[in-house]
Structure 1
Amino acid sequence: MSAPGEAADFENPQPAPQSVQESPVKVRKQLPQRGVDEFWQKFTTKFPGKVHSILPADIYAKTKASKNTKGVVNGQIAVKSYDQAAAECKHAVEKIAKECRRVNHKYRDPHFDIEFDLKRNRRDCLDALGEVPDKTYPKSVKRIPDIFENPVFFEEGATASDVRQGFNGDCWFLSALCALCNKKDLVNNVCVARDEEVGVYGFVFHRDGEWIQTIIDDKLYLIASDWWESSDEEKRVFWIVNRGDAEKRYRKVNQTGSKALYFAQCSSENETWLPLLEKAFAKAHGDYSAIDGGFTGEAIEDLTGGVTTELFTTDVLNKHKFWEEIMKVNEEFLFSCAAGTFDKWQGSDLASSYGARENIVRMHAYSIMEAREIKGNRLLKVRNPWGEGEWRGAWSDGSEQWTPEWMELLNHRFGDDGQFWISYEDLLREYSSFDRTRLFGPDWQITQQWTSVDVPWSADYNKTKFSVTLTKRSPVVIVLSQLDDRYYKGLQGQYTFELHFRLDKDGEQDYIVRSHGNYSMSRSVSTDLELDPGTYSVLMKITARRYQDDDTPEDIIRKNVKLRQNKLIQTGLAYDLAHAKGEIRETEAEKQERQKGESKRKAAEKKKQCAMKREDMLKNWQHGKREKAREKRHAKKREEYERKKAEKRRGSRRAEGTVAGDATAVQTDQAIAPEAVNVTTAAPGVETELEKQSAAGAIEDKTGEPTLDPAPLPKPPSEAKADESKPTNGAPLGTIAEESKPTNGTLAEDNSVTPKNEEKDAATSTEDSTAQKSRQFEAALKSIPSVTVNGAPTPISEAPAPSVAAPSSLAPNDDYQYDSDASFESSIDSVLDFPTQVDDPAEEDYPSPMDGADDNTEFENDPWNAVCVVGLRVFFKDGACSIETVRPRQEEESLDLDDASKGASGEVESDGK
């Protein structure tokens, strides 16, 4: 026996838990290709563009942009830009020195005042926009006479042994300086003017295809703080050791000489050229953090105006030929190298990131100082910008390869100064990448042109291209570069670009050469070759990558407009000046072409409007023609119908011979029972009650269907009045309803049009009775909402009122000619009024997927919008060379203004900007 609880549960089973009904998956019917097309339409903006101006009403940047050359740009001597910048820098230094002597003040740089910036904790000279401040930072600032006991700019000229890196990751820049020190006058070409007494120094750097000047004062950052700003622990130590002159001793130990500098310093305690040059380089880029990390080849470009090519040891085809190029170091080329470029791609221990492979630091820049081939040995002299840390393999200091003979041949001395010798085979094995920078002298000429291009997500050759024309056969170096965003760090946006180009000769199908691809350096790509005279096209292929977590220029402006006003103005000005190069200015030829295209578009629009107007006029004319034909058919059929009915009445009267026939017909109508008004379908051969009472005709045709007489169209008022004034002598049999109110059934049509009474002796009483009955019938007809035909109610207003019975002498075919007019007209009008264009049924069957409420609007709210400012430089020796920017024609770009692939440059050009 089961337990009571179990029995109860058995007798009253618990209801099964209802399963949670999952919401049905929304199935969309759509064409697959259409969904993909609409995704890309949302993904890419229809209004591509780039922020070209950060500051409001930047007159200086706009003035510089207005000076940009339009149309064809001809060549000039490569060093002309340098000579102009150096002359301007010298003039500015002289003017500042003269003014400072007049007021008896040392020069204070108002645009890069590192002392007040540090003491007010602004850090505008240390950190870029959006930069997180470093925990370590300099503690004080002093002028050069307060730091060095016997300061000199150069002791024995600029040498690589002078270079020592400070607390900044600018080894790439210092390595470039080491390379420059091996070639005479390269460093002097950068340091163009100075007045050490006043404390003003002028330098020039190469930026985006032209030389710029930078002027600084003589203030430098120090590691230690001032005596009165130092901690009590530091003061206590010096008080104990030097009680009388503790402050003087503190400054002597912590704030005197090159070792006291926070950033780069010379190995000599009194030499100043390196820290001042580093400060000028940092100011040119905005702050010290902007020069933290980079590539030696790019730094050499900034210091010499050369062109750098990135080379990987795994890509060297002919090692002997590569050695021949290295042998030209310090003459035609400058070389630098780096080890372990991809050592950390699998996430190796970061703690050992500065570990050494045979004491060669990974991810660190070295400069090649010298290349020698002696007694079959290929040896290279390499330097570490740290000033310490050397190679420990063959030909390192103290190795067995060194003999007194080799020491004398190579003029080498042992010591941990960062310089060492290494064999060519070990160099290729230990170092993974090389930067080769070609130098240009007065025998080279240059021409360049800049523009802005829209970069689609799918990389392909851009519609905008450069046309290069040479007049003589000459060696050429072609460089495609983008703006150096290091100068406006923080405002570079979310997109990065990789450049490629292809050189074609006009009239030939195959390309001549393609640019050498870079893995690390993305600022420029280049190629060098010899070309015959002719016209060539440079086709650009730009690959963009987006980092959506980075701030946009608008975000940076919002975050810094209140707290870092001066820094935003400084960086924004650098941004505006750089992007002024990419502002497209319309040439006369482009203006004429644009005006011609606008005229064509206006003519086409006018022609289209005229065609639409003609089409509307034709449609109205056809509609009016149909209306007139319809009215004519109505009038003709109504006239024919009335004529036949009048003839039937006259024939009926003649047959009866007297007016009494009319009275008999009226009595017959009155004798019809009210139940007969409800018309039903009778089976063939069965005589209805109405047929028994009607001697003149039947209401049903041969098929058993009721015969319906339509109401005639309304007549003009004049005809109506004329008909009302005519006396009614009689009516055909069965055309007037009986006097009693009907309940159901199909009512007879009112004979609103009566023929002229031809019987002069008709009885007046009969006429009055007929008119009264007609009025009663009309009132009853208005009160009935619907009639029943075969059991289905039919509204009176939607169909012509059928007649209860037709005269026996009026055949159904006679009425059908008029009754079918409505259906005939509707069929004809439906064909004539049908729209000329019908929507594709597939579009209705497959609705747009973008109409759903749960669609992802990520790309629609923030679509792809990549625009790159690029410039082409062509170096050549012989003849003349010119560059022209060839943009898509207006006709090609204006085919579809909503096309997502339309370039930003085309829209700017169409606006005449």
Structure 2
Amino acid sequence: MSDHREAADFENPQPTPQSLQESPVKVRKQLPQTGVDEFWKKFTTKFPGKVHSILPADIYAKTKASKSTKGIVNCQIAVRSYDQAAAECKHAVEKIAKECRRVNHKYRDPHFDIEFDLKRNRRDCLDALGEVSDKADPRSVKRIPDIFEDPVFFEEGATASDVRQGFNGDCWFLSALCALCNKKDLVDKICVARDEEVGVYGFVFHRDGEWIQTIIDDKLYLIASDWWESLDEEKRVFWMVNRRDAEENYRKANQTGSKALYFAQCSSENETWLPLLEKAFAKSHGDYSAIDGGFTGEAIEDLTGGVTTELFTTDILNKNKFWSEEIMKVNDEFLFSCATGTFDKWQGSDIASVYGARENIVRMHAYSIMEAREIKGHRLLKVRNPWGEGEWRGAWSDGSEQWTPEWMELLNHRFGDDGQFWISYEDLLRKYSSFERTRLFGSDWQITQQWTTVDVPWSADYNKTKFSVTLTKRSPVVIVLSQLDDRYYKGLQGQYTFQLHFRLDKDGEQDYIVRSHGNYSMSRSVSTDLELDPGTYSVLMKITARRCQDEDTPEDIIRKNVKLRQNKLIQSGLAYDLAHAKGEIRETEAEKQGRQDREMKRKAAEKRKQYATRREDMLKHWQRGKREKAREKRHAKKREEYERKKAENRKGAEMAEGSVAGDAAAAQIGQAAAPEAVDGTTAAAGVEGEIEKQAAAGATEGKTGEPAPDPASSSEPPGEAKADEAKPTGGAPLGTIPENPKPTNRSQAENNPVAQKTEEKDTVTSTDDSATPKSQQFEAALKSIPSVTVKGAPAPTSEAPPRSVAAPSTLAPIDDYQYDSDASFDSSIDSVLDFPAQMDDAAAENEASPVDGGEDNAEFENDPWNAVCVVGLRVFSKDGACSIETIRPRQEEETLDLDDASKGASGEVEGNVK
């Protein structure tokens, strides 16, 4: 017997929970494309965003941004923004000077106090946020009257020969100043107001499409320390040479005149415009380290509001055309600078110093093109080194054989190592690798601009957000796509850098008109210039993002500096907030109306859906009520039949009792002849047996006559009813629902012979009080029923969850009446089919978190790709009005899943028609 059981278990094994835990779960292998799609889905965040405000509740930045030049139909003269900024700057300087005279104090800049910053060793005016270095190491700070014996702001106006670079890598800025000095009044337009007696100076600069003002005091950094802070050895030498006036002689030798300045200085010993302008430029950017390194073209943009284009020598198609139409217009329509060695392979090796020498031209250094002349067939250019020394040593250099008294007079040139030299056009193209050309705009140009924020995907493609430009007349235009200048909030720029590109299309035409001129080194803006007819055009943006994981995010910078460098964080945070407030998306009237229309349509669709749902619910309720009425009718009919049968059985029992009584009377008549019974048990047993015979006869009569009620459909099992007859005072009352009902599905009972036998056994009556209850018999029979296997469903491998059975109806006394429909059978199928899905979920969890050191699929969940760029479009035009509008995709289009987009051309997403 045991062998037979073991063989059966081997053929049909019944897994236990313990065996399931020990056996390995089979992991499904997914398609390669599915794995790639899941990777990209996790790689990019579903909620892209950017920090737009560093400081808490920065109302000033938002108010300032709301007054900036932007809007759909905003068209202004290019110089109007400058005039407004200059007027505000002059008013501020006059107000400060008046207040200082009232209290008899010289002006001290509370926002950029370099003396207090140096003495307390805070270095907020020297180092950017997130870095502290000793690269800049000035030793003292003094005011202009304490440095210069006879200070003057300008001696003979601002000239390029005045510029000399100090101990900072801002040659790009000084080279731009050299270029500006060649065009009359450009420097004067930057230095708009000053009160030299009070020591307050006002300047204006161009930043992110608008002019801003900057006000400073007259304190400057010096190279040497004060007498009482200098080295003892140095003081001893001065005391030995000048015993009586050692301190005064030390001050005159080390802290007097332009040569004593730590940063930029004028060649004249008493001229002050250059160091003060450099200080104002550093303050506007936050500190001196922020202006360390850059491009001359970008500095010219900051000083003039022009547009710069990067040109490489190897990309010039027609060199004669470049000379005649561009180089020859220097100081008129354009300003030029040049550099070399940008892409040198051997930049830091000794080979570069030996074989890469360019006749004393410094690699990675900015030069300014001061003048272009064509005389007697010679194309010559005047170039200046902002260092104020170090000149070209080739042809047309100082002392070369090309110079004659005639040429010296024609070109008004004098020999000397002042940083200015002449070079031929051919040598310029050979020795310099790149040019930066800045277009200047006069009062006849109009400017329109618009800013927005776009989400930049990892794969560069034309963005969904675009600009729409409308022109009313034919006009020459210059289109510029810019991003925020992060030099103003250095340290908070984040991990992403962006490269811009755009394409211009005309609405209604398939082919594009022009593409932007790409920049390799300069990334702040790209532009193009052309002449356009009136109409509507689209500017499509392509933005390439690169991420540097080693850089700190703005959140990290805030956490690191909120306690240590509070003042610096406030200063840089304000600049950050002012810049990013431009990119705040403001809803236009057309977008608002469209959103309201879509909202109305959505609400109408929801109402229709709710109405359809309510109607479907009402229909189901009506159908359910109809079924309940049918059940009630069947129940009443079966109850009536049951009562009739019960009455017949009771009548038969009464007749049997009557016959027994007659027999007893006959027996009493013959008691005299028969022996007297000792015990009355036999008579009672005889009566009881007779009752059973009569009950059996009644049952037989029921079979031969009308059909007996079906045990599977009757309101109460016949066996239980007969037991009630035999024991009228015991048993369950009529209509009570059994504790363990029979199988609730007819098809299941029909397919199960054990269940059928159980039902047949339940119909047998018993008069024994110690017999097993029907509930226990049913439970024992249910345990012997084998598991149901549904055709087409996978066999479960572990214990299935309990089935969900609907609540029984209050109308039916027995469950058999309640489950006339196939609802319970459907529920059993669902419970079986749900089980493999649970196994798949477990396998998916096992696959998502492998034990054997596999790659975690949640690799990018905590740090996903989240590149967001604030960009602005500026359009310069001469004739007619111009307007710009930002076209953004609707939110529901942006959040559309890739899987939904690939459902097919029918437009159906998850069964719903869009």
- d(CA) in 2 for partners of 1:620 and 1:776? 46
Tell me: CA distance 1:778–1:850, structure 2 relative to 1, closer, same or farther (3 Å).
Answer: closer
- d(CA) in 2 for partners of 1:25 and 1:649? 63
* Structure 2 counterpart SS, 1:92: helix
* Structure 1 counterpart SS, 2:233: helix
* Structure 2 counterpart SS, 1:327: helix
Tell me: CA distance 1:439–1:115, structure 2 relative to 1, closer, same or farther (3 Å).
Answer: same
Contact preservation (8 Å) 1:462, 1:540: yes
Aligned pairs for 1:282-431 within 5 A? 282-324=282-324, 325-344=326-345, 348=349, 356-431=357-432
Alpha-carbon distance, 1:668 to partner: 12
Contact preservation (8 Å) 2:61, 2:578: yes
Q: Which residue of 2 aligns with 1:714?
A: 716
* Structure 2 counterpart SS, 1:549: coil
Alpha-carbon distance, 1:68 to partner: 4.8
- Give aligned-pair identity as a percent: 82
Aligned pairs for 1:230-269 within 5 A? 230-269=230-269
Cα-to-partner distance string for 1:145-179 (whole Å, 9 max, x where unaligned): 11111111111211111111100000000000011
- d(CA) in 2 for partners of 1:249 and 1:193? 35
Alpha-carbon distance, 1:448 to partner: 0.9
Q: Which residue of 1 aligns with 2:151?
A: 151
Tell me: CA distance 1:747–1:880, structure 2 relative to 1, closer, same or farther (3 Å).
Answer: closer
Q: Which residue of 1 aligns with 2:169?
A: 169
Letter in structure 1 aligned against 2:202 = G
Alpha-carbon distance, 1:844 to partner: 7.3
Tell me: CA distance 1:637–1:506, structure 2 relative to 1, closer, same or farther (3 Å).
Answer: same
* Structure 1 counterpart SS, 2:149: coil
Letter in structure 2 aligned against 1:575 = Y
Letter in structure 1 aligned against 2:432 = Y
Tell me: CA distance 1:28–1:379, structure 2 relative to 1, closer, same or farther (3 Å).
Answer: farther
- d(CA) in 1 for partners of 2:759 and 2:870? 86
Contact preservation (8 Å) 2:504, 2:537: yes
Q: Which residue of 1 aligns with 2:849?
A: 853
Bigger shift: residues 427-436 or 827-836: 827-836
Alpha-carbon distance, 1:563 to partner: 2.1
Contact preservation (8 Å) 2:711, 2:759: no
Q: Which residue of 1 aligns with 2:226?
A: 226
- d(CA) in 2 for partners of 1:857 and 1:224? 57
Q: Which residue of 2 aligns with 1:487?
A: 488
Q: Which residue of 1 aligns with 2:748?
A: none
- d(CA) in 2 for partners of 1:365 and 1:838? 75
Q: Which residue of 1 aligns with 2:871?
A: 870
Bigger shift: residues 821-830 or 425-434: 821-830
Bigger shift: residues 880-889 or 331-340: 880-889
Alpha-carbon distance, 1:786 to partner: 6.6
Alpha-carbon distance, 1:830 to partner: 2.9
Contact preservation (8 Å) 1:206, 1:302: yes
Contact preservation (8 Å) 2:758, 2:778: no
* Structure 2 counterpart SS, 1:357: coil
Q: Which residue of 1 aligns with 2:752?
A: none
* Structure 2 counterpart SS, 1:527: strand
- d(CA) in 2 for partners of 1:259 and 1:89? 30
- d(CA) in 2 for partners of 1:67 and 1:216? 24
Alpha-carbon distance, 1:642 to partner: 9.7
* Structure 2 counterpart SS, 1:580: helix
Tell me: CA distance 1:600–1:327, structure 2 relative to 1, closer, same or farther (3 Å).
Answer: same
Cα-to-partner distance string for 1:373-424 (whole Å, 9 max, x where unaligned): 1222211111111111111222222222222222222222222111111111
- d(CA) in 1 for partners of 2:327 and 2:268? 30
Q: Which residue of 2 aligns with 1:6?
A: none
Bigger shift: residues 337-346 or 72-81: 337-346
Contact preservation (8 Å) 1:593, 1:890: no
Cα-to-partner distance string for 1:575-618 (whole Å, 9 max, x where unaligned): 11111211122223322222222222222233333333333444
Tell me: CA distance 1:46–1:374, structure 2 relative to 1, closer, same or farther (3 Å).
Answer: same
CA RMSD of aligned residues (A): 4.3
Alpha-carbon distance, 1:871 to partner: 1.0
Alpha-carbon distance, 1:558 to partner: 1.6
- d(CA) in 2 for partners of 1:126 and 1:465? 40
Q: TM-score, normalised by structure 1?
A: 0.77
* Structure 2 counterpart SS, 1:395: coil
- d(CA) in 2 for partners of 1:130 and 1:748? 88
Letter in structure 2 aligned against 1:774 = T
Tell me: CA distance 1:311–1:28, structure 2 relative to 1, closer, same or farther (3 Å).
Answer: farther
Bigger shift: residues 181-190 or 822-831: 822-831
Q: Which residue of 2 aligns with 1:468?
A: 469
Tell me: CA distance 1:586–1:643, structure 2 relative to 1, closer, same or farther (3 Å).
Answer: same
Cα-to-partner distance string for 1:515-569 (whole Å, 9 max, x where unaligned): 1111011111100000001111111111111222211112112222222221111
Tell me: CA distance 1:136–1:887, structure 2 relative to 1, closer, same or farther (3 Å).
Answer: closer
Alpha-carbon distance, 1:364 to partner: 0.8
Contact preservation (8 Å) 2:309, 2:517: yes
Q: How many residues align?
A: 784
Aligned pairs for 1:888-907 within 5 A? 888-889=889-890, 892-893=893-894
- d(CA) in 2 for partners of 1:411 and 1:320? 25
Alpha-carbon distance, 1:721 to partner: 12
Q: Structure 2, unaligned stretches of length 5 or more?
A: 1-22, 664-684, 701-709, 730-756, 787-813, 851-855, 903-914
* Structure 2 counterpart SS, 1:511: coil
Q: Which residue of 1 aligns with 2:798?
A: none
Tell me: CA distance 1:477–1:746, structure 2 relative to 1, closer, same or farther (3 Å).
Answer: closer
* Structure 1 counterpart SS, 2:56: coil
Letter in structure 2 aligned against 1:289 = S
Cα-to-partner distance string for 1:13-45 (whole Å, 9 max, x where unaligned): xxxxxxxxxx99996533433333332232222
Bigger shift: residues 871-880 or 780-789: 780-789
- d(CA) in 2 for partners of 1:850 and 1:24? 10
Q: Which residue of 2 aligns with 1:904?
A: none
Letter in structure 2 aligned against 1:568 = L
* Structure 2 counterpart SS, 1:491: coil
- d(CA) in 1 for partners of 2:177 and 2:832? 74
- d(CA) in 1 for partners of 2:686 and 2:899? 82
Cα-to-partner distance string for 1:160-214 (whole Å, 9 max, x where unaligned): 1111110000000000001111111111111111121221111110011111111
- d(CA) in 1 for partners of 2:831 and 2:597? 34
Alpha-carbon distance, 1:714 to partner: 2.6
Contact preservation (8 Å) 2:631, 2:818: no
Aligned pairs for 1:509-908 within 5 A? 509-626=510-627, 629=630, 712-714=714-716, 749=761, 773-776=766-769, 779=772, 793=784, 830=825, 848=844, 852-854=848-850, 855-889=856-890, 892-893=893-894
- d(CA) in 2 for partners of 1:150 and 1:424? 42
Bigger shift: residues 547-556 or 606-615: 606-615
Cα-to-partner distance string for 1:694-727 (whole Å, 9 max, x where unaligned): 9x99xxxxxxxxxx975943389xx999978999
Cα-to-partner distance string for 1:816-849 (whole Å, 9 max, x where unaligned): xxx9x99995757535997799999999758647
Q: Which residue of 2 aligns with 1:179?
A: 179
Alpha-carbon distance, 1:431 to partner: 1.0
Contact preservation (8 Å) 1:452, 1:867: yes
Alpha-carbon distance, 1:290 to partner: 0.5
* Structure 1 counterpart SS, 2:142: strand
Letter in structure 2 aligned against 1:830 = F
Letter in structure 2 aligned against 1:412 = H
* Structure 2 counterpart SS, 1:169: coil
Letter in structure 2 aligned against 1:209 = G
Tell me: CA distance 1:316–1:899, structure 2 relative to 1, closer, same or farther (3 Å).
Answer: farther
Q: Structure 1, unaligned stretches of length 5 or more?
A: 1-22, 672-693, 698-707, 728-744, 753-769, 796-818, 902-913
